[in-house]
């Protein structure tokens, strides 16, 4: 913590032993250029500490400040075993509760406490959750080239590496394109020549998948991420155009502001709908499941508060016939990725896990980082998450502010209107 003296805010009952939380702090590092936020909780037992993912890449300064100045002091003096009570206390403590900043701060605390619990028990976290229902989590990677040919070349390489599923995106004119390279000056004569054209996107995306099936065959599971840029009617039209290509899922077809329309989009779409990445409320995620908005719930687990709320949503998915497909590209820390895999291997609701191959620098900062084997992600068998943080390496990779914002400010239509990034 910075700026505040450790203070005990009062335990509600006597603890059965003398173990206490002594320090809570955020560490920000960017070994691949993307800012990652990790919370470290130290205890009165020498060497016993826990790590949790609190990564909100676009507002990492705010999350770190929330952890160091507001959340951390609430925990000092508490027993680390009281995970449920501590997470509820942190959730209610801000009065205006929820939102991605506070929920990521909460997630860092929550996952760090689970890490400590596993280390105290001498067990990996997945065993604390009831043990495995599968050996490993099947995962997918992204292919996104400037042309259809480049995209399919990337996809073929991913499949050759042992993966069975791949997400496909293809470039287009405009600097605001998502998931694949765009090009400047793509719309000469327009008020904003670097704009993204929704009508071209709707025309070209089915062509990509027709080409993919011709080149890759019938077996691979293919996905596509709309990235929330369509109206409900446009989303239905795209889904129907993609029907012949048998997508494993269509991701985020409409913006979260219009999730009340997701049930009708899902009902009209011939393929499964995956959504929820941008939610920062566990109750909103529960509504998506209960009201029939999704086939696969796709959350950034830290944005809803961490492992504790996520496992409650997992139980709801199990009872509702909904699958899980957690968000996890480069802007999830290896600690968060380990939490995803622990959830994946302990629930029958699991469907697929978004993957990312972390580079060497990440493995140096986070020893124990999970690496894929033939497209599968196996949980660590070490106590807790099985991941540590090398802070000497972490400081060698300082974060840069406004990386995302510089791109998002240029995501516009050719007429100059701002678009959801």
According to DSSP, the β-strands at 21-29 and 36-43 are antiparallel
The Cα angle at residue 356 between residues 227 and 228, in degrees rounded to 5: 5
- With 0-12 / 13-18 / 19 or more C-beta atoms within 10 angstroms meaning exposed / middle / buried, residue 6 is middle
For residues 72 and 91, the answer to whether their CB atoms sit within 8 Å is no
95 is catalytic: no
User: Residues with Cβ < 8 Å from 345, sequence gap 6 or more?
Assistant: 126, 132, 133, 134, 135, 136, 137, 379
State the Cα–Cα distance between residues 177 and 171, nearest whole angstrom.
7
Supply φ then ψ for residue 334, to 5 degrees. -55, -30
405-410 CB contacts, 8 Å cutoff, 24+ apart: 405/58, 407/175, 407/176, 410/175, 410/176, 410/194
273: β partners: 250
State the Cα–Cα distance between residues 340 and 362, nearest whole angstrom.
17
For residues 384 and 119, the answer to whether their CB atoms sit within 8 Å is yes
Q: Using alpha carbons, list the distances in angstroms from residue 216 to 58, 187, 219, 239, 391.
A: 36, 32, 8, 20, 43
Element (H, E) at 160: helix 148-160
Q: For the chain, what is the total number of helices (H) and then of strands (E)?
A: 15, 14
For residues 52 and 109, the answer to whether their CB atoms sit within 8 Å is yes
User: Residues with Cβ < 8 Å from 195, sequence gap 6 or more?
Assistant: 174, 176, 186, 187, 412, 413, 414, 415, 416
Q: Which of 165, 187, 224, 227 is catalytic?
A: 227
Q: Which of 126, 140, 163, 178 is catalytic?
A: 178
User: Residues with Cβ < 8 Å from 115, sequence gap 6 or more?
Assistant: 50, 51, 52, 125, 335, 384, 385
Q: Using alpha carbons, list the distances in angstroms from residue 382 to 121, 320, 355, 357.
A: 11, 32, 21, 21
227 is catalytic: yes
Angle between helices 307-320 and 282-290 (to 10 degrees): 10
Active site residues: 178, 227
């Amino acid at each position: 913590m910075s700026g505040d003296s450790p203070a005990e805010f009062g335990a509600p009952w006597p603890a059965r032993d003398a173990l206490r939380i002594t320090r809570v702090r955020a560490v920000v590092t960017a070994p691949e250029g993307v800012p990652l936020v990790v919370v470290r909780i130290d205890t009165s037992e020498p060497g016993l500490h826990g790590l949790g993912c609190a990564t909100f890449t676009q507002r990492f300064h705010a999350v770190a400040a929330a952890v160091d100045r507001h959340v951390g002091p609430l925990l000092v003096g508490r027993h680390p075993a009281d995970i449920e009570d501590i997470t509820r206390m942190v959730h209610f403590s801000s009065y205006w509760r929820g939102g991605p900043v506070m929920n990521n701060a909460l997630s860092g605390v929550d996952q760090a406490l689970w890490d400590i619990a596993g280390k105290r028990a001498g067990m990996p976290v997945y065993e604390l959750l009831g043990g495995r229902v599968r050996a490993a989590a099947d995962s997918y990677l992204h292919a996104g080239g400037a042309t259809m040919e480049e995209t399919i070349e990337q996809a073929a390489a991913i499949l050759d590496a042992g993966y069975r599923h791949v997400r496909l995106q293809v470039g287009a004119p405009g600097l605001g394109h998502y998931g694949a390279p765009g090009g400047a000056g793509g719309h000469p004569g327009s008020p904003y020549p670097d704009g993204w054209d929704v009508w071209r996107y709707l025309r070209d995306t089915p062509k990509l998948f027709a080409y993919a099936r011709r080149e890759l065959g019938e077996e691979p599971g293919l996905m596509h991420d709309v990235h929330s840029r369509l109206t409900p009617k446009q989303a239905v039209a795209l889904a129907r155009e993609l029907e012949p290509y048998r997508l494993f899922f269509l991701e985020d077809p409409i913006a979260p502001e219009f999730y009340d329309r997701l049930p009708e989009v899902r009902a009209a779409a011939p393929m499964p709908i995956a959504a929820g990445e941008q939610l920062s409320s566990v109750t909103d995620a529960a509504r998506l499941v209960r009201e029939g908005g999704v086939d696969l719930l796709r959350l950034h687990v830290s944005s809803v508060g961490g492992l504790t709320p996520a496992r409650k949503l997992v139980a709801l998915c199990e009872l509702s016939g909904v699958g899980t497909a957690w968000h996890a590209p480069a802007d999830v820390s290896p600690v968060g990725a380990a939490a995803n895999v622990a959830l994946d291997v302990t629930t029958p609701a699991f469907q697929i896990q978004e993957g990312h191959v972390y580079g060497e620098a990440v493995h140096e900062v986070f020893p124990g980082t999970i690496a894929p084997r033939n497209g599968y992600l196996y949980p660590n068998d070490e106590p807790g998450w099985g991941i540590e943080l090398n802070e000497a390496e972490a400081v060698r990779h300082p974060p840069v502010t406004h990386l995302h914002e510089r791109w998002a400010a240029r995501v516009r239509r050719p007429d100059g209107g701002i678009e959801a990034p």
